[in-house]
Structure 1
């Protein structure tokens, strides 16, 4: 593995995802031991040549010799491409680069709702991405779509349960956003949308947990006890994660109980 030396990635220390992959670059040898640094620990000298508005949105790769900086997907391509030149050649082809850039923005602007972390209020610099309505709504739509199709398939594995339709599952998945938003009407619009993003991340997580059993159900006749038990465990895990996120967001604790209430109401309506 070739090591890209004298280069430092400025990562978001409040983002577990960012911390994970930058640590991976160092441990794998793609970057040297000084190859990552928290954005919040930028020196005054570094702040003179790092774009402080751009860096929170697009991870910055600093050349420590020339004091030049590249951002976003280009910084990641440079790190990976130094060890794997073929990947760099493919990634810099215009159509592929365009797609990678959009995917990077999709993840970066939503990273705080994908894997939230505790904010360290003592930090003078915060690596919080700008609130981007387009990418937030795209993420909510993406999670909503995956959730709808997984629930549609899983519901049909449950015998003696009213046959599911895509329309029903879509209404139920979207309905929870509307239902929960009713309890947040007094808060700012961005706060509500930010919560909606976290809410759909929890739903997406639940869908991923259900997927293995859903796939097995296409080939084997699974016992109903396993199907229902797996679903129950999934809901419990989702509840715990939702509770954790509500606490991180400093929102009213009762949102986790209205989250359960919505599911009880939805089940009652389906069965009747």
Structure 2
């Protein structure tokens, strides 16, 4: 790999995904050993020429010689393009660059609900993206769509249940957001939408766990006992993850029990 020297990526140390790919850049040799730095460790001098608000939304690439900064998808294109010039050429084609920029924003503004982690409160600087309603609703819509499609296919493998429809699965996916939100009415709108984002990430994660059985069912007849068992394990994993996220968000733990209650109510309605 061709090393991009004297350039430093500012990453969100509370974001596991940001940690992972910046470490990858350094270990692969795309950046030198000083090629990554936590946003929270910015010096007073660096804060004078770095747009702190923009850097919390879009990863910043600092040129340590010229004291200039690139942000967001352009930073990543610069790092990758230094080792793979063809990537930079393709990524800078206007329609492709526009799409990559929107995809980057979609992930960046939702990174705290995609992979949440406990923030280190002792840090004076916190790399927290602005709350963006558009991208939050887009993420929730994306998660609802994937969850609906996967559960539609999986429900048809469970023969003891009445045959499903795509509309039933949409109602069930959206219904849990409405149901859980009823227990958060004393909180502000952003808190509710942050929770809704995490809630749908849990559902999306559960859907992805179910996909291997769906794929396998296309080639062989999967015994219903395995289908039910896999579904049960998936629900347990989802409950554990929902519990963890509720703790990180510092929300009432009764949300975990209402999360289960909703599923019992849904099952009762389906069977009747």
- TM-score, normalised to structure 1, is 0.99
Matches of 1:258 and 1:53, distance apart in 2: 37
Mean alpha-carbon deviation: is it higher for 243-252 or for 215-224? 215-224
Partner of 1:204: 204
Matches of 2:171 and 2:23, distance apart in 1: 41
Partner of 1:110: 110
Matches of 2:160 and 2:256, distance apart in 1: 29
Matches of 1:160 and 1:20, distance apart in 2: 43
The 5 Å alignment of 1:1-272 reads 1-272=1-272
Q: Deviations over 1:230-263 (max 9, x none)?
A: 0000000000000000000000001011000000
Matches of 1:188 and 1:14, distance apart in 2: 24
Displacement of 1:98? 0.2
SS of the aligned residue for 1:45 comes to helix
Displacement of 1:215? 1.1
Displacement of 1:85? 0.5
Matches of 1:218 and 1:162, distance apart in 2: 21
Matches of 1:113 and 1:153, distance apart in 2: 26
SS of the aligned residue for 2:137 comes to helix
Matches of 2:103 and 2:52, distance apart in 1: 22
Matches of 1:243 and 1:20, distance apart in 2: 24
Q: Deviations over 1:147-196 (max 9, x none)?
A: 00000000001113100100000000000000000000000110000000
Structure 2 residues not aligned, in runs of 5+: none
Q: Deviations over 1:27-86 (max 9, x none)?
A: 111100000000000000000100011000000000000000000000000001100000
Aligned-pair RMSD on alpha carbons? Answer: 0.5
Matches of 1:25 and 1:264, distance apart in 2: 46
Structure 1 residues not aligned, in runs of 5+: none
Matches of 2:39 and 2:113, distance apart in 1: 19
Structure 1 stretches (4+) deviating beyond 6 angstroms?
A: none
Q: Deviations over 1:92-140 (max 9, x none)?
A: 0000000000000000000000000111111111100000000000000
Matches of 2:217 and 2:189, distance apart in 1: 41
Matches of 2:256 and 2:43, distance apart in 1: 41
Matches of 2:32 and 2:117, distance apart in 1: 26
Q: Deviations over 1:188-213 (max 9, x none)?
A: 11000000000000000000000110
Matches of 1:82 and 1:168, distance apart in 2: 49
